[in-house]
Amino acid sequence: MQSLKGRDFLSLADLSVSELRDLLALAAQLKAGSLRPQCPHQVLGLVFSKASTRTRVSFSVAMYHMGGQVLDLNTGVTQVGRGEPPADTARVLDRYVDVLAIRTYAQSEVEAFARYASIPVINALTDLEHPCQILADLLTVQEAFGGQLEGLTLTYLGDGNNVAHSLLLGCALTGMTIRVATPEQYRPEAAIVEQAKALSPNPDSIVVTTDPEAAVADSHVLYTDVWASMGQEDLAESRIPVFEPYQINSALLAQAHSDAIVLHCLPAHRDEEITHEVMEGAQSRVWDQAENRLHAQKALLAAILGAL
């Protein structure tokens, strides 16, 4: 993991195949308690422009577990919220803290922080990608299938959003087949799809379709997210009839592999993108997935801070 020390993490595509595998292995060791990395006196700054539960808490707890400190630099209580340019904020925070996790709207903002700060910058979510979430997702799939990822099929249903983008890249790196099923006008960005194909050992394993039933056939993992992301709440009601065929329900789940698991990055709108029955059912791994945010992000922080 020495190759990640001091590096930014803005996208899943920033990792090599071996680095991703090593991060997941490290996360599994941390979860098992067989390693206890320490980074005393080091400080993580959280620059969050978007609301957060899992990301905020998991990053904070991970840092505290390693003996570090956390500064919650909410944009409502810093000059960022009054329009200070990211370049200026980045160069100031660079003098105070050891690592930054940024949760914001534009990918260009985290890129600006990374460009102007010499400390590592982590993408804790943008409208383009959500790479930290996918580290936890892949760890959860790995646990459910005996450590295996290559050869498995993951189907994502719903909006071709930031989670779909990072899943495309993460699955490509691990050699998984990924099928993204969305309504025609909500497909993932074509550039991300092409990037995933370039990263995958088998470009034909990257599939984008409008047919949810074809997408879930014999799939090992069914995954969904809300149909309207943060900042799109005013569109939520109008999207429901468009996305209804992509709901993960018992009928759709029955068409997947007999050992299939169900994932949702949360928060969920029960009985919209996923039914209450499926979310609370035997095949749901949603709560394991949420827990794994802690272990995956602890592994990421430990590697970036050289705490191993």
* Residue positions annotated with a catalytic role: 103, 130, 133, 225, 265, 293
Write the DSSP assignment of the chain as a string of letters: -GGGTT--B--GGGS-HHHHHHHHHHHHHHHHTS-----TT-EEEEEESS--SHHHHHHHHHHHHTT-EEEE--GGGSGGGGT--HHHHHHHHTTT-SEEEEE-S-HHHHHHHHHH-SS-EEEEE-SS--HHHHHHHHHHHHHHTTT--TT-EEEEES---HHHHHHHHHHHHHT-EEEEE--GGGPPPHHHHHHHHHHSS-GGGEEEES-HHHHHTT-SEEEE--SS-TT-GGGHHHHHHHHGGG-B-HHHHTTS-TT-EEEE-S---BTTTB-HHHHTSTTB-HHHHHHHHHHHHHHHHHHHHT--
Q: Beta 121-125 vs 153-157: how paired, if at all?
A: unpaired
Q: Count CA within 13 A, CB hemisphere, residue 295.
A: 24
Q: How far apart are the first and last CA of the chain?
A: 8
CB 290 within 8 A of CB 54: yes
